[in-house]
Structure 1
Amino acid sequence: MEKQIAVITGTSTGLGLSLTEKLANEGWKVYATMRNLEKGQPIRELQQSGLAVELLQLDVQSQDSVDQAIQTVINQEGHIDLLVNNAGIGYIKTTEQSSEEEYINVFDINTFGAIRCTKAVLPYMREKKKGRIVAISSVGGLVGQPLNEIYCATKFALEGYYESLATYVTPYFGVEFMIVEPGGISSEFANSVLAGVSSGGGFPKDDFEQVVNDYMGSRTNRSDNIYQTPSEVADVILSQLSTNPLPLRVRTSDWSEKFCQYKTKEDPTGLLQTKDVVKQMLGK
């Protein structure tokens, strides 16, 4: 039986690393990608344990890098069954406090990075008329939140992108999409957000100081309910990969489900809306 091939971005830590290990343990061959291979020691340890994992350089901010990595996998395997767009960065800052360079960078990684990777794999999946693309979004892709407007905008855009692809690429070419919407993940990702704030001198003492204080205080009080481990989120993703059809959207915890309830109650998987769009706009 042909081994299933997965490509995952952002695998040096957190969810990407956990997904790599769990998929490999399930019998997949996983191409674990990252921009900086110097951070690849955890992946090398998985290789040393005997798992079918390949470490591959891929910078989601460069279409040439993405294309080269995907072509490498195709040359070696002939097909890609699963792409997980996991690479991303967090961002907590008001619009007024943000520089153009900062918010363009967040979009370039979180949104355009996923588009670059999707663009690279789609021709091969379309030719085979099968394949799955998973995007790690956030509850922030459905619900706007204070001090997170730039981050949420990148995830709203990501969700609109995959929701649109699902209306024609899935029914015509058999490629499925799934948008994963966690609350918080207790990993280096969350820590890096706060580290980024600290490296910039912390939150400024300006008109938004009270908003920041209320937000950070609320964050502390609710952390037990919001945060999941990377392993817990990875388990949800793996469980959904065994379903047919793949849900377009999935929240990963009771907290995230409740947080998004006003947006998702009538159509929790997103498939009803997609079906209606296909019927109205394509007559299928």
Structure 2
Amino acid sequence: MSTENVSPLLSVKDLRVAFRGRGRRGAGVDVLKGVSLDIRPGETLGLVGESGSGKTTVGRAILGLAPVTGGSITFDGVDLTKLAPGERRRAAAQIQVVFQDPYSSLNPSMTIESILSEPLLGQGRQVGRERVRELLDRVGLPADSGGRLAREFSGGQRQRIAIARALALRPKLIICDEPTSALDLSTQIKVLDLFLEIQEATECAYLFVTHDLAVVRRMSHRIAVLLNGEIVEEGDAQQVSDRPDHPYTRQLQMAAPVADPVLQRQRRLARREFLEKQDLPVA
């Protein structure tokens, strides 16, 4: 799909986020230092970086959950940073999120029908069981799942429920914050396939946040690489994954496992040395 000549659905310009310490003289931390990115309708932008790079904060700022200290976030033609909280919630209703951990993102004592109805009720909309069954069918769960409790489902099934909840308001953009990292490998593949199927059927856009360059390569049209709160490389997904320009992106590429144990050890040691020089966490 070509989206080069389409106006952005989301346009983030010079986004800055800082967290201030306690007290009048508390030291502050600049988490985002002028991040700019665009996402067009139906497009997936992969945002990749190590823990502490600021990638989750980008998503939280777009959702209004992090303190924006500079820049703009324009969604569907409206600058969200200029709106009062109530206006922002209404303007951004078509931005939804799927969090990393399906166990903590769903109330285990609520029925699936209640979980899927909650976003609609919050917007003052009527909810019918047919809509709940439609959402369950969209994510590949049985139609009679609505009466069961979230705690009765496996991790992969819970993430499907979280995706269904995100789809309830028919969003134009879904922020996917490490949505498969808490799942085993076989379940990850199934959930990633589900995201691709949903995008093909609904044409919604994704901001796909992850530390895994291989995952983001599979899911994305374009990739942006974040280091210490700044984007250091951005471009076509295949080009960034296969022929990265920036040394940090090449280190992310080296994090992927290889079959040769000697080469794997060499890559791991080289990557550790690079991360230590950059004062980044070594996983």
TM-score, length-normalised on structure 1? Answer: 0.30
| Greater relative contact order structure (CA < 8 Å, 6+ sep) | 2
TM-score, length-normalised on structure 2? Answer: 0.30
